[in-house]
Amino acid sequence: MENQTTVSYFLLLEFSKKWHLQLLHFFLFFVLYLATVTANLLIISAVAFDTQLHSPMYFFLMNLALQDLGIVSVIVPKSMINSLMDIRHISYFGCVAQVFLFLSFGASDFFLLTAMAYDRYVAICHPLHYETVMNWKACTEIIILVWIVGLLYGMLHTIGTFSILFCSNVVNQFFCESPKLLKLSCSGLNLLEVGIVMASIIGALGCFSFIIGSYTVIFKAVLRIPSDQGRQKALSTCIPHLTVVSMLFLSSCFAYGRPPPNTQSYLDFGLTALYSLLPPLLNPIIYSMRNKNIKHALSKLWGF
């Protein structure tokens, strides 16, 4: 692809030249994808079919599961097909779709976790006003806003990424990851993309600061609860959310904060898989482990 500035397809990272290792990659990704889809579908089904879970907290959790399902479904199946068929190709528009959907679902994830922090703040710090503040109309408006902002972010980032001229079509990753695509630029820094990245950093720090501020107030309120049982009940609804936020924020910072390597690296492959695939798998597990209502709903769902 030397001396060319337009491409009709991209070549994704080849896991190995050896067929049996390609099959191993397919099998590992298949197991991971199946587990992630199953875990998130169970959360969605439990919330949808159990009337006891028809509350704002579980409504937000169901949307989080939908977003996590979207993240893995955008990037994993294509990688599995490539390994199974021993190919590396992805079309230009397929790559555009991957970047747009992956970033949209990822941004929506982060904005939704911010909204969930506000939900916990109202529930613990202002319990008498909870039903008034977090009514179904307000929750629906929050979810619509989260999805719209996520889609706008994905659209802007995608426009910024694909407005550059590409000198190569070899993407050093198992899916079309925006930082890897930007490294293929012939024209150096793209001011539009730089502006979008800076706005993204400011937005992410704003969301994270809001979450930290909310939990500072929440923990102060929890410490004032007189009974141990009351404190444990309040913390049981906060710890899973705080764990998920910490995992997402730290993995994203580690993935995008370090300089991307110039050559193919299995370490880079593993770290990218860690930040993009592990949170969608662990989120439903983290939320269901200490939540008796979800455990009860899943037991009813399976007839136990």
Considering Cα of 279, then 194, then 259, then 267, what sign does the dihedral take? positive
Question: Would you place residue 28 in the very low, low, confident or very high pLDDT band (cuts 50, 70, 90)?
Answer: very high
pLDDT at 78: 93
- Which residue type does 258 have? R
Greater model confidence, 300 or 28: 28
> Average of pLDDT values for 241-266?
69
Q: Which two tokens stand for residue 90?
A: 């992805």
> Average of pLDDT values for 129-146?
93
Greater model confidence, 31 or 239: 31
pLDDT at 98: 96
Locus of tokens 């911010």: 114
> Average of pLDDT values for 207-211?
89
pLDDT at 263: 54
What is the distance between the alpha carbons of residues 68 and 130, in angstroms, rounded to a whole number?
27
The kind and range of the H/E element at 90 are strand 89-91
Question: Would you place residue 95 in the very low, low, confident or very high pLDDT band (cuts 50, 70, 90)?
Answer: very high
Asked if pLDDT for residue 260 goes beyond 70, the answer is: no
Asked if pLDDT for residue 4 goes beyond 50, the answer is: no
- pTM value is 0.89
Lowest-confidence region among 56-60, 71-75, 297-301: 297-301
